[in-house]
Structure 1
Amino acid sequence: MAEAQLQQFLEKVRQLNAFVALSESQPALRDALRACDQHHEVVALAAQHGFDIGRRWGDSQAAPAQPKERPSDQINLFSSLCPAAGEERVDRLIEGPGWRLERIHSCLASSPEGFWYDQTETEWVLVLRGSAQLRFEDEQHSRDLCVGDSLLIAPHRRHRVVTTDPDPGTLWLALFCSADA
């Protein structure tokens, strides 16, 4: 671990410990924390009390840089401007007969009420940055996904996005394959 990452880690632990101590001394804050369902709600509550606990490994304190001009055959998967809250952007990276690879960047996005994806393709997704909750129609509870989590979704397995992170959003890599690929 580089020294800068170590210092970032230690600062996050310090802020988490201070936030926990404050919540133990203030019953109203503890109740508000207990009412949080999602990671970004805890991060926002901590920020209201002056704590920065939301930065992830490798995230800098500075605003994300604008994507650099690159040759058309070279991209950086993490170089993507966050879409507006409630939106997502899909970039097709590469495709072949019966398959395609996409980068999906979502920000506080969710499927419309009552809407379920019902795809004819197999979909494999990987969370590159952020977190999300997905719900399958045949399961009682939502699934929490975070950085590094992947999921294989069979054709016609109905599912929906419950929520994704606020800015800088959730960044996905999605591979779609048809049955004849």
Structure 2
Amino acid sequence: MANIFSLPNQLVESEIFEPLLASENILIERIVSTGQVTPEGEWYNQEKDEWVVLLQGEAKLSYADGSSLILQAGDYVFLPAHEKHRVDYTSSKPPCIWLAIHGNFQLK
């Protein structure tokens, strides 16, 4: 058993990507961010869909079309495969704790 809110005693300078459950079709991971952002001029352009919820902290996501979202604890977003996006802000106090689910989803 583990706790999604338990953090290492000492956080490192890079984001922590922790797979919680993985199979051929799905990846569920915890991500811990402490101020990290997407490097300037770079975009995420993922092969799979991603549903992500911010469990703790604050963050800002931006899209290639110029729109952006401010996320607070409890907010979630669906990111379809190949939707270019970037992370422009993550809080460090408290650290951001994300729960991300990656896969090929059929939306209804």
TM-score, with normalisation over the residues of structure 2?
A: 0.89
Percent identical among aligned pairs is: 34
Query: For residue 107 of structure 1, what is the aligned residue in structure 2?
Result: 34
Gaps of 5+ in 1: 1-73
Decide which structure has greater helix share. Answer: 1
Aligned residue runs from structure 1 range 96-135, under 5 A = 96-135=23-62
* Residue from 75, 97, 101 that aligns with 1:171: 97
Aligned residue in 2 for 1:84: 12
1:102-128 Cα shifts (integer Å, max 9, x gaps): 000000110001110000100000001
RMSD: 1.7
Higher relative contact order (CA 8 A, sep 6+): 2
Distance 1:179 1:150, change over 3 A: closer
Q: TM-score, normalised by structure 1?
A: 0.55
Deviation at 1:97, TM superposition (A): 2.3
Corresponding residue for residue 137 of structure 1: 64
- State the structure with more CA Rg: 1
* Distance apart, 1:98 and its partner CA: 1.1
The 5 A counterparts of 1:136-155 are 136-138=63-65, 140-155=66-81
Say how many residue pairs are matched. 105
Q: How big is each residue's C-alpha offset from its partner over 1:127-172, in whole Å with a ceiling of 9 and x where there is no partner? A: 010010000112x232100111000000000000001001331000
More strand by proportion, 1 or 2?
2
Q: Which runs of 5 or more structure 2 residues have no equivalent in the other structure?
A: none
Residue correspondence of structure 1 range 20-35 to structure 2 within 5 A: none
